[in-house]
């Protein structure tokens, strides 16, 4: 498994927030209910998203969370990074912002273990996929394939 459920749950959470057209904050309990995820676990995840500035919060009654900025300005790389930590294919692997990578096995002047070539490509593949997808895309996809969710959320209280 490349990623843990943190990324899965967190992305679901972000999509749910993105579906809210008006600026009204969404309570975490509503997200937990409609996505059927444990509320107290979501609290931990949303904390990471908040610290990364991807969501903003409003405390107190009728409070909740909203996106930190417009959904089409949020690329999923940021989201996954906030949830899972820096993305590296391997323990020894560290990439600086410019995409340059370094490997901790490169001690004693010994440059470039052979695996570096491979992990660099993998790293490139996954970051490209993540950075090339915006939250807005996922929200749109979600609206197309599950337009009933708005009603589901209100109907859930009756069930």
SS3 state of residue 17 = helix
Cβ–Cβ < 8 Å for 136, 71? yes
Give, for 102, the enclosing helix (H) or strand (E): strand 101-103
CB of 135 to a second copy, least distance (A): 10
Distance CA 33, CA 156 (A): 8
User: What's the min distance (Å) between Cβ of 125 and a second copy?
Assistant: 3
User: Phi, psi (5° rounding) for residue 82?
Assistant: -60, -35
Task: State in angstroms the smallest separation of the CB of 130 from DNA.
Answer: 17
In this complex, which beta carbon is closest to a second copy, that of residue 102 or of residue 115? Answer: 115
Eight-class DSSP state of 86? S
Contacts (CB under 7 A) with DNA, residues 6-45: 6, 9, 26-29, 37-41, 43-44
**Site for DNA, rule CB under 7 A:** 4-6, 9, 26-29, 37-41, 43-44, 46-47, 50, 57-65, 84, 91
């Amino acid at each position: 498994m490349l990623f843990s459920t943190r990324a899965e749950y967190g992305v679901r959470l972000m999509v749910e927030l993105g579906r809210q057209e008006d600026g009204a904050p969404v309570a975490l309990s509503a997200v937990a209910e409609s996505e059927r995820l444990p509320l107290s676990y979501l609290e931990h995840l949303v904390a990471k998203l908040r610290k990364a500035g991807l969501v903003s919060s409003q405390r107190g009654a009728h409070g909740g969370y909203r996106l930190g900025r417009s959904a089409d300005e949020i690329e999923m790389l940021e989201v996954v990074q906030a949830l899972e930590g820096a993305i590296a294919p391997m323990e020894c692997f560290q990439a600086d912002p410019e995409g340059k990578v370094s490997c901790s096995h490169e001690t004693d002047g010994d440059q470039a273990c052979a695996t570096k070539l491979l992990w660099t490509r993998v790293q490139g593949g996954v970051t490209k996929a993540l950075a090339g997808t915006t939250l807005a895309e996922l929200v749109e996809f979600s609206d197309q394939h599950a337009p009933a969710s708005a009603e589901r959320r209100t109907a859930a209280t009756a069930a």
